[in-house]
Copies of this chain bind each other. A is one copy, B any other.
């Protein structure tokens, strides 16, 4: 009787299943994904999958949650603990983060939110509270810190932190729909950050 090479540990199961589900959703969307297929990808029987997630919708929600929250946590923590100047944050870690989004699993989650959001209001609420709000807060905090220490002049941008991540969002979706070659996303994001910083710093040094 051959014993399994690696005894699967129960604790990893949910994670393995949501990973498989994300991959499946990425390829076929929510409606287009069969629970059977997710189970097969996860190397698990359908019955077991239903032991962990009571419905397909529940699985969907778990996927959404498990993929975005950690990233947002990292972003918020990073902004709070850094000793970089505001501009350095924007041109450094934020720029890097934004460039990494197109083509990443985040893109998949974004697409799912767009296409399925209307049917899952509680998920939208969750996403708004735990992702969008916290992300926007982190951005707003950064900008206001810049204003307070004289890097930036006061502008309406403080109230519209969306302005900063727009190109990342745009790139994510554009890449998703039209393919990776269809847009130079790095350049778009860099240029946009540059433009906004110019605006935030305007008249700097215009003397007199």
Cβ contact of A31, chosen from B32, B167, B187, cutoff 8 A:
B32
Selected from B113, B166, B191, the residue in CB contact (under 8 A) with A177 is B113
A178/B128 in contact, CB under 8 A = yes
Closest to A176 in B: B114
Stretch of A12-20, A61-69, A194-202 on the interface side: A194-202
Task: Please name 8 further chain A to chain B contacts, defined as beta carbons within 8 Å, in addition to the given A111-B115, A163-B195, A169-B173, sorted by A numbering.
Answer: A29-B118, A29-B119, A114-B114, A162-B170, A163-B188, A166-B166, A166-B192, A195-B196
Residues of A within 8 A of B (CB): 27-29, 31-32, 111, 113-119, 124, 128, 132, 156-157, 160, 162-163, 166-167, 169-170, 173-174, 176-178, 182-184, 187-188, 191-192, 195-196, 198-199, 202, 206
A-B pairs with beta carbons under 8 Å apart, 29 shown: A27-B118, A29-B119, A31-B32, A111-B114, A113-B177, A114-B115, A117-B177, A118-B177, A124-B177, A128-B178, A128-B182, A156-B187, A160-B187, A160-B188, A162-B170, A162-B174, A162-B183, A162-B188, A163-B167, A163-B188, A163-B195, A166-B192, A169-B170, A169-B173, A170-B170, A195-B195, A198-B198, A198-B199, A198-B202
A179 to chain B, nearest CB (A): 8
CA distance A163 to B115 in the complex (A): 24
- Chain A binding surface SS class: helix
How many monomers of this protein are in the complex?
A: 4
Task: Please tell me if the beta carbons of A160 and B191 are within 8 angstroms of each other in the complex.
Answer: yes
Q: Write out the residue numbers on chain B whose beta carbons fall within 8 Å of the beta carbon of A169.
A: 170, 173
